[in-house]
Structure formats: C-alpha cells, structure tokens
Amino acid sequence: MIIAPSLLAADFTEFGKEAARVEKAGADWLHLDIMDGHFVPNISFGPAVVKAIRPFCKLVFDVHLMCSRPEILLEPFAKAGADRMTIHVELGDPVPSLFWKIRNLGKEVGLSVNPPTAMELVEPYLKDIDSLLIMTVNPGFGGQEFITETLTKIQQAYTWRQERGLKYKIAVDGGIQFQTAAECAHAGADTFISGTGLFGQHSLTAAIKKMRKIVEKAGVPELKLT
C-alpha cells in the first residue's frame, strides 16, 4: 500500500519544508500535480520548482502531468528529479509514444483516467504501465468532493489485474479522506493520493498512520497478502 500526500494542499510558500515534513510523517511517495492551464483550468508549478524541492525529500517523486503536451515536459521533469510520471489517457494517440519516452528516461509509467472517460480506453495499455491512476474527481483543483461512481472503475481495474496476472498499482486521486479511502480500498485500490484529506489534519503523521490503518482494514483480502 502506498500513501502519497499531494503537495497541492501544502503551504505554497514553504514547499521545501513541506516536502521534508511529508517524508518525516511516514508517507511513501510525494505526489506532485502539474497543471498547464489547458488540459485543466488551473496552473500549478513546473520543473524548476520540483528541482528546488528535490533536496528536501528522499521519497519517490510521483509526477502527475495534467498537461496537453507532456512530450515537452518529460525530460525536464526527469532531470528535475521525478521518479515516476503519469500521463492521461484522454490525450489519445500520443499515449504509447509518451510511455516509451518515460521508460527511456528510466522512470516508472503511470496512466490516468478522468471520471467521465470510459475504462475501455485504458484497457489496451494495462500491460505497459506501472500504475493506473483513477481520478476520483475531475482534475484541476484540490479539495473537491469524491465522485462515488468512480468506485466501479476501481473494481474493474482490480478484476482486470487479477484476470490477467498483471502487477500495476491501482491509484486513486481526488477527494480521498479517511472514509473514501476505505471505500476505494474495499473496491481494490492500493495507492492513495490525498491532499486536503491529509494536510487538513492537525498532525500529518497521525493522519497518515490513521489512513494506513483504515485502508488496511478495508482492503480486499488478496491485497493484504501482497
């Protein structure tokens, strides 16, 4: 199981310190949301900021590219310290070449699917990815409400993984609080990205510990063995 706090919910004036705090609090990955003002109606931060944060935190840097043209950003983010990069299936035809580029840079490959997008679109790529990121809100902003209808997508991703003997992680992102994390774990998710759900708590350490416990309890039995 992976707990990945999203820096989008941290104090923007203290990114270095916040990244260090995430590591100290016992998280597994640091999730970095990259928004280009085109693929999503918001802008966050770019490779120079990620590079500046890198020395403050040894955790896996999980870069989520909500961008229309990730091909121009993959190398800059790899150089800035990304360990894994997730692109969106909604980009269509460029997806396979983006995977190839990410692998060529020596990074792990993630594929994300937005709430209105059919799971059939990700199906052909399942054998090529390290993680499938199921968006549980429409991307662009932190602090939105979890979309319950996405639970069936998690179940589908889990069933496909079992049936095909694949190993991709099943990640969820958006509106992940303690309760919704439990629901996602029950449906088959194993990787939990959470911004306000964790940073909004008084103690980040206690919040991560609590989420881990809740998710462990709610998870499908097979996951407990891995």
Q: Where are the alpha helices (DSSP H) in 61-150?
A: 74-80, 95-104
Of the listed 28, 33, 36, 190, which one is catalytic? Answer: 33
33 near ligand DX5 (CB under 6 A): yes
Beta strands (DSSP E) in 67-211 are 84-88, 108-113, 131-135, 169-173, 191-194
Question: Mask 72-111, x = binds ligand DX5 (CB under 6 A)?
Answer: ----------------------------------------
Dist. CA 54–CA 52, nearest whole Å: 6
- Considering only 173, 175, 192, 208, the residue that binds Zn ion (CB under 5 A) is 173
Q: How far is CA 90 from CA 5, 131, 154, 155, in A?
A: 24, 16, 18, 20
CB atoms within 10 A of CB 121: 15
Cα R_g (the chain), whole angstroms = 16
Nearer Cβ to Zn ion (33/190) = 33
- Considering only 78, 129, 194, 212, the residue that binds ligand DX5 (CB under 6 A) is 194
Q: Which of residues 37-96 bind Zn ion (CB under 5 A)?
A: 64
143 near ligand DX5 (CB under 6 A): yes
196 near ligand DX5 (CB under 6 A): yes
Of the listed 28, 36, 62, 173, which one is catalytic? Answer: 173
